[in-house]
């Protein structure tokens, strides 16, 4: 990647996005738009939540790809990793026109070098941690900008917060080592374990990628890592042996120092906790102890940024009560324990959890948060490689659900099913540990079954990176609209 290909001037310059509806792509387009850029792009005709975001901002885009759509006066063409530049018609045309090309990760990495940068990394928790950090930046009135990989309530339903250019915070993805495009001054490392096994060989391979990312840190940078996560601790120990200039800052229930999480109290609707170095009672209204850890990481990052940039940030460091206020007001982000609403006494939720660890912690958090509700979980596994490699772990991750609905595997364009794994394999494994599991190959085929069994007091949640979220939306919309669902059993 040539970082110099990113335009030095943004305002009034035209950027073209190929695959503009992707969550990260739309977020970067949104951020550049807020900085005065002219944005257009293209994507498939399918509807995503980002359609509404782009239209609300007034960003035009084409539905469908055509080489004639590429503007000859674009200063940069940004493309989704889903589209190979040597095959896609619009990217080939951009090459013919001599336009600079950058993948999403390359473009975001190049943009991040314009100011001190904080990268949020880890197999789990990146989006929520980034969103929480952004909520703090906004509440404290800091002159920084934030980009999350999903729509965030604290950003008025958008994916970015543009509060200034003194620093920049964004989540950074480990898949295909995309985060190596960044040179952070600060890193949050939430978790390191096996994932993306269509690309990484094993745990050692993915741990090595995170080590490589940390090697990219600026001199005397701060590594904020979860002391409760084995993989994060291994990476922190390894990189600090190599780079004694780095500052390790642990957080979590087993951490030493000011970000040790203690006095945790789970109640219906909230989790209370304290941080060792702050004289304040914290409350968070998003389910799960993992969310408490994400909040601790966000506090650690923002306080560290304030300390490191004390000479340039005009604001004085805020008191603990202001941090606690921002955490208490946080209401989450799109597809992260997202509440769709309640209809006929049934609470409908959606969550992106697509790894066994995330499934287990999400369901455990819901059990504590909503102790009086029966939990009905609908899960669609994503990628053949992940399902095959973690089959036993997936089957054991539903212990806190009362009824489980499973489907076929949601395939990815980046792989083929070489191992012959199927959604029924996961169902058979799950049913041995959890007899109240049922299987419907196609997602919408489960609708009549669920309408006949859901009842007042239930919590119905769709989980995964597939398209089964549409089932939850369909059921919620029908019940809210008064459509009969039959007798509950």
| Same domain membership, residue 128 and residue 18 | no
| Same domain membership, residue 287 and residue 210 | yes
CB 73 within 8 A of CB 14: yes
How many whole angstroms separate alpha carbon 152 and alpha carbon 332?
6
- The tokens for 144 are 């920084």
Q: What is the pLDDT of residues 266-315, one digit of tens each?
A: 888 899 999 999 999 999 998 889 999 999 999 999 999 999 998 887 66
Q: What is the pLDDT of residues 378-411, one digit of tens each?
A: 999 998 888 998 999 999 999 999 999 999 998 8
Q: Which residue has the higher pLDDT, 162 or 337?
A: 162
* 117: β partners: 168
Q: Which residue has the higher pLDDT, 62 or 153?
A: 62
Point out the least confidently predicted range of 107-111, 190-194, 240-244, 318-322.
Answer: 318-322
| Same domain membership, residue 228 and residue 81 | no
Last residue of a domain, one of 58, 91, 107: 107
Last residue of a domain, one of 107, 138, 160: 107
Q: What is the pLDDT of residues 350-383, one digit of tens each?
A: 998 888 988 998 999 899 889 989 999 999 999 8
Helix 320-329 with 289-308: angle, nearest 10 deg: 140
Specify the CATH number for the domain of residue 36: 3.40.50.720
| Same domain membership, residue 307 and residue 205 | yes
In the predicted model, is pLDDT for residue 46 greater than 90? no
**How many domains is the chain built from?**
3
CB 230 within 8 A of CB 357: no
How many whole angstroms separate alpha carbon 73 and alpha carbon 403?
55
CB 261 within 8 A of CB 251: yes
List helix spans (H) across 336-422: 356-369, 384-389, 391-395
Point out the least confidently predicted range of 72-76, 146-150, 255-259.
Answer: 146-150
- The tokens for 442 are 């196609």
Cβ density class 202-222: b for 16+ within 10 Å, e for less: ebeebbbbbbebbebbeeebb
How many whole angstroms separate alpha carbon 318 and alpha carbon 335?
30
Point out the least confidently predicted range of 8-17, 198-207, 365-374, 415-424.
Answer: 415-424
| Same domain membership, residue 67 and residue 129 | no
How many whole angstroms separate alpha carbon 428 and alpha carbon 415?
23
In the predicted model, is pLDDT for residue 488 greater than 70? no
In the predicted model, is pLDDT for residue 487 greater than 90? no
In a domain, 487, yes or no: no
In the predicted model, is pLDDT for residue 2 greater than 80? no
Q: Residue 5 to residues 101, 103, 187, 214: CA-CA distances in angstroms?
A: 8, 11, 25, 24
Dihedrals phi, psi of 162, to nearest 5 degrees: -110, 90
403-406 and 346-351 strand pairing: unpaired
Specify the CATH number for the domain of residue 379: 3.90.190.20
| Same domain membership, residue 184 and residue 305 | yes
| Same domain membership, residue 202 and residue 297 | yes
| Same domain membership, residue 57 and residue 171 | no
- Domain coverage including residue 375: 338-480
In a domain, 390, yes or no: yes
Specify the CATH number for the domain of residue 223: 3.40.1190.10
How many whole angstroms separate alpha carbon 182 and alpha carbon 3?
10
Q: What is the pLDDT of residues 450-471, one digit of tens each?
A: 999 999 999 999 999 889 999 9
């Amino acid at each position: 990647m040539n970082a110099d290909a990113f335009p030095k001037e943004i305002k009034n310059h035209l950027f073209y996005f190929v695959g503009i509806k992707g969550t990260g792509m739309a977020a970067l387009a949104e951020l550049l738009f807020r900085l005065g850029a002219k944005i257009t792009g293209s994507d498939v005709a399918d509807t995503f939540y980002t359609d509404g975001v782009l239209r609300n901002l007034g960003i035009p885009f084409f539905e469908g790809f055509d080489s004639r759509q590429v503007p000859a006066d674009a200063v940069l063409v940004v493309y989704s990793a889903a589209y190979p530049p040597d095959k896609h018609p619009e990217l080939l045309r951009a090459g013919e026109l001599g336009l600079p090309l950058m993948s999403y990760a390359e473009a975001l990495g190049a943009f991040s070098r314009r100011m001190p940068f904080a990268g949020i990394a880890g197999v789990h928790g990146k989006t929520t941690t980034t969103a929480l950090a952004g909520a703090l930046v906004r509440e404290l009135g800091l002159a920084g900008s934030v980009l999350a990989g999903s729509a965030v309530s604290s950003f008025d339903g958008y994916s970015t917060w543009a509060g200034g250019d003194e620093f920049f915070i964004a989540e950074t993805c480990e898949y295909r080592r995309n985060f190596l495009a960044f040179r952070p001054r600060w890193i949050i490392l939430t978790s390191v374990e096996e994932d993306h096994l269509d690309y990484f060989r094993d745990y050692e391979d993915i741990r090595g990628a995170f080590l490589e990312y940390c090697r990219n840190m600026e001199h005397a940078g701060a590594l904020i890592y979860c002391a409760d996560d084995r993989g994060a601790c291994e990476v922190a120990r390894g990189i600090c042996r190599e780079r004694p200039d780095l500052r390790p800052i642990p957080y979590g229930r087993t951490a030493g120092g000011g970000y040790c999480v203690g006095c945790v109290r789970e109640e219906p609707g909230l989790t209370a906790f304290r941080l060792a170095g702050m004289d304040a009672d914290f409350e968070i209204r998003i389910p799960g102890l993992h969310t408490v850890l994400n909040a601790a990481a966000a506090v650690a990052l923002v306080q560290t940024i304030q300390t490191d940039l004390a000479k340039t940030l005009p604001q004085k460091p805020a008191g603990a009560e202001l941090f606690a206020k921002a955490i208490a007001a946080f209401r989450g982000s799109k597809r992260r324990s997202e509440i769709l609403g309640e209809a006929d006494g049934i609470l409908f939720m959606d969550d992106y959890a697509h790894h066994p660890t995330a499934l287990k912690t999400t369901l455990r958090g819901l059990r504590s948060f909503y102790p009086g509700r029966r939990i009905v979980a609908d899960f669609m596994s994503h990628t053949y490689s992940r399902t095959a490699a973690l089959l036993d772990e997936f089957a054991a991750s539903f212990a806190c659900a009362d009824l489980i609905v499973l489907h076929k595997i949601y395939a990815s364009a980046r792989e083929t099913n070489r191992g012959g794994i199927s959604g029924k394999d996961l169902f058979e494994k799950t049913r041995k540990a959890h007899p109240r599991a049922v299987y419907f190959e196609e997602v919408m085929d489960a609708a009549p079954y669920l309408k006949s069994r859901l009842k007042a007091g239930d919590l119905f949640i769709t989980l995964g990176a597939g398209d089964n979220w549409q089932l939850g939306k369909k059921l919620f919309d029908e019940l809210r609209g008064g459509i009969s669902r039959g007798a509950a059993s």
